[in-house]
Homo-oligomer: A and B are copies of this chain.
């Protein structure tokens, strides 16, 4: 035993806990700089600066990994886990110790070489993806995806050896989830959605969405969506909104949450519902316990929970009649020409059109889940070794035809459409539909506890709902996993039934069923 360890051994547990937290916070500072590199890459990086950005990302990823796996930190953490706070400390303390230990073990099993290579390859592969998609050339992307999936399989076998490799990857986004459980939930959801989509299409009464496809000038859209985002509670003093090809939300500090959007001057929901979605993520980030930034009580529970927040605002609020009661006059003053002959009901109805389409991010609320579940099956097969990357394009097209009854006219409209795989985000897709499931269950519970909710929303007051989410979801940080969190918030076990009920009741009537 060295002197420093011995003297450290005499530390009061509280002091040791503070020291461990300081170190974890320091790693979080560096990780937040990594986020800034990523945000800047998507928003403002000059065209030819991508090569060096990959160097920068790799260097930061290596440093973050080194901080997170520092043996002296691990030793302190182990001592803390053996001490009294781990078992009888306040819940946020014992929970922090358990989660930091879990994180440390996962990180420590990753070789630094792999971390560095993953970071660099994923930045380069994203750049290749951009060119490949622009050229609609699967051949350009295929070798990059081969490298990425090889590295991800290696990551899986290192970080959680003995686990199914797909579960090991999904654990980064949805801790505790298993593919079997997710597949089961999705099977039930899929059957219902296929039935609902077929009924909607067969009805021949798809709501007319022409009102959404008029001239919506970009400058007016910018003012309008900022007003809406601020109204639902997004704090622009602690965040911002920029433009990117692929919208996202990224946090690079306790008071620095940045969302992005695309703009379509001929289709209002691209930006409006895109921003409601990203601002929903942002509200969660801004609602996490600020003083615990960088530590488990200040971190998101999972991406499924994250997605539940974005989907809730985008769809369950943003497509509701109550929301449009408030929002329509605001929209009409922003777009007097486009909305001259419209009313709240006609815009809301237009937002309920269901029709199969090729691009996930442009899909309606119902078919969206079919896109996600298909990717879940494909990426799982790639990771588990039952599908080769070389066969992915064909597998995509066949599966798409089975699920949607049509074939993508080009690879850009098919296998090349998403950034995720080239960005190394494997095991991430299922969180989108999990989010939909959680969101429906959460808002169902919120409506029961807050009987005046729709009236408040119709009056443009969103703080009742936001406070409820803050208290029952945001406040827990990462101390509860998704399922216990949703169960505690709603008083019911997690089930797809609230999503199915919600989609069925809202879309059936919109399609005159």
Contacts and interface: CB of A to CB of B under 8 A. Distances in A.
Interface of A: 26, 29-30, 32-33, 36-37, 40, 44-49, 51-53, 55-56, 59-60, 63, 236-240, 242, 252-258, 293
17 contacts: A29-B55, A33-B37, A33-B56, A36-B36, A36-B56, A46-B238, A46-B239, A46-B255, A47-B238, A48-B237, A49-B238, A49-B252, A49-B253, A52-B253, A52-B255, A52-B293, A53-B253
Given A29-B52, A36-B37, 5 more contacts: A36-B36, A46-B239, A46-B240, A46-B255, A49-B255
A49 B60 CA distance: 21
A56 B29 contact: yes
A253 B293 CA distance: 30
Of A37, A47, A293, which is in contact with the most chain B CB atoms at under 10 Å from its CB? A47
Majority SS at the chain A contact face:
helix
Given A29-B55, A29-B59, A255-B51, A36 B40 contact: yes
A33 B256 CA distance: 18
A33 B32 contact: no
Contact of A238 (B48, B59, B293): B48
Nearest to A293: B52
B240 A48 contact: no
B46 A256 contact: yes
A117 to B, nearest CB: 16
A252 B40 CA distance: 12
Contacts of A256: 45-46, 49, 52-53
Contacts of A44: 44, 240, 242
**In the complex, the 6 A-B pairs of residues with the closest C-beta atoms, listed nearest first:** A52-B253, A49-B256, A48-B255, A47-B237, A49-B255, A29-B59
Nearest to A242: B44
A46 B254 contact: no
A70 to B, nearest CB: 14
Contacts of A258: 46
A59 B26 contact: yes
A47 B252 CA distance: 13
A242 B33 CA distance: 21
A40 B48 CA distance: 19
A230 to B, nearest CB: 13
Nearest to A44: B240
Contact of A52 (B32, B45, B236, B242): B32
A229 to B, nearest CB: 13
Contact of A33 (B47, B59, B257): B59
Contacts of A36: 36-37, 40, 56
A240 to B, nearest CB: 5
Contact of A59 (B30, B37, B47, B53): B30
A158 to B, nearest CB: 24
Nearest to A32: B56
Of A46, A47, A252, which is in contact with the most chain B CB atoms at under 10 Å from its CB? A46
Contacts of A30: 59, 63
A51 B399 CA distance: 50
Contacts of A55: 29
A73 to B, nearest CB: 15
